[in-house]
Amino acid sequence: VNQSYEPVRRTFTRLLSLNVLEVDLETGDGKSAAATKGLNLSRMKALFDNLHRSIGTSLADNTGGASGQGALNAFGVGISPILFQAIDNERQLSATMHRRIASLRKRLIAIAIALVSATVLLSLAIYFRFGRPLLGRIAETVQGAEAIAGGKLTTRLNPTGHDELTDLMRRFNTMAGSLAAREDVLKTAQRDLQETVDRQTADLRQANEKLEKIDINRRRFFSDISHELRTPLTVVQGEAEYNLNAKARPGVADMRQSFETILGRVQELRRRVDDMLRVARSESGRLDLSSKRIDLNRVVADAVGDETRPAERRGVELKLEVALGELVVLGDYDWLRQVLGGLIVNAVKNSPEKTVIRITVSQQLQNAVVAVEDQGRGIDPASLPHVFERFARAGGDNNLQNEAESDGFGIGLNLAKWVIEGHSGTISLGNNVDGPGVTVHVTLPLMSGSTDQGKTT
């Protein structure tokens, strides 16, 4: 019994010692609770001591189990309320500790939040006070460098502060100013150079265009005039063949008339050659038409006279109707005679035998109008819009390009159009409405003082 009780006793002794320390450390309600706890421990120790003595006495007196059973019953009755109270106290203490722990946790969390918030606010304050301006100036410097690299030499930084970065920004502005000044000098030099190049290029272009125009005009004129030389040559050849024809047996009068015709055509050829020389020597490459007062009736009559004999040999009659009085125009006699003669030659070449070609001169308002009407087969309507184009073919059976007996190109009518338009006139061509053939109309402006008193044949 003594051996079993000794550990219990030492336990109670140690618990009471700890309780004394607890009472010394606690204050207020905690001190009272600790004292109550110590009182209960003392009561429990006393109950264990009584139980130990009662059991020891029973064993020494040999009283048996009845005495020991009574001691145990008394011990149980006495210790049960103490144990229940101790358990309840421990439960309350545990709840109190849990509440304290929860309260402490909340305080610690609040303190941690406060510390974190304070740290964040302090970091933000440091950033906005020191870091942000520094980073902003660095970013401004980087952007300025990129702008300068991109060619924006007017870019300048805004240096603030008194540190090394501020000094760097000032040096950056100095460098940008120097680069901008150099660029202005280079741009001025480049602009002057470009203006010089543009001016020289424009002068060269104008000179080249002028030369090209002169060359085109010269080549066009030589092409046209070469075509026109064939008409008088054809007449000269025809007159020569006629006089050499043994069967024709021309008389003196016929031969004289033939020689006069040949002489006139040779003179015409000489004028055309002179024109070619004038064009070759001219700076514009074009032939300038002369402007003199001439009677259009006389020009037409001379052109008809030139082509009367060739027409008679082909069995074609030329019938001329001129206006009474003078129809005075301002123009070049030789070229108008050449153009009108060429129109008559075209009409003769494309007229069947025993037909009549009517040449009429009339006045319409302030214009003089020359009409050449033949009785040929006409022109394909699809070709009419193109007959005045260079190298155009008249189409159909009526070739009005002075080339009825060869392949030919449309240089004759194109040259005629150039001459007439050079006299501020117009030329048109169309198939006859009331019969076969083609009519060409040439319209020239009259000078003041011209009179039309009707027509004469």
Q: Enumerate the domain spans of the chain.
A: 2-120, 292-457
Mean pLDDT within 119-124: 90
Overall pTM > 0.75: no
Confidence at residue 400, expressed as pLDDT on a 0 to 100 scale: 43
**Number of Cβ atoms within 10 Å of the Cβ of 162:** 8
Task: Tell me which residue of 423, 422, 430 sits closest to 400, measured CA to CA.
Answer: 430
- How far CA 310 is from CA of 234, 254, 304, 305, in Å, comes to 10, 13, 10, 10
The CATH number of domain 292-457 is 3.30.470.10: no
Coil, strand or helix at 414: helix
DSSP-derived 3-state class of residue 144: helix
AA letter at 405: E
State the Cα–Cα distance between residues 243 and 254, nearest whole angstrom. Answer: 8
pLDDT at residue 160 is higher than 90 = no
- CA 125/CA 134 separation, integer angstroms: 14
Neighbours of 51 (CB within 10 A): 21
Q: Say whether pLDDT at 279 is over 60.
A: no
Rounded to whole angstroms, how far apart are CA atoms 199 and 187?
18
pLDDT of 242 strictly over 90: no
Asked whether the predicted pLDDT for residue 90 surpasses 60, the reply is yes
Mean pLDDT across the chain, nearest whole number? 79
The model's pLDDT over 379-434, given as tens digits with 9 standing for 90+, comes to 888 888 888 875 554 444 444 443 333 333 234 787 788 889 989 999 999 999 88
Region 361-367: mean pLDDT is 92
What is the amino acid identity at position 254?
D
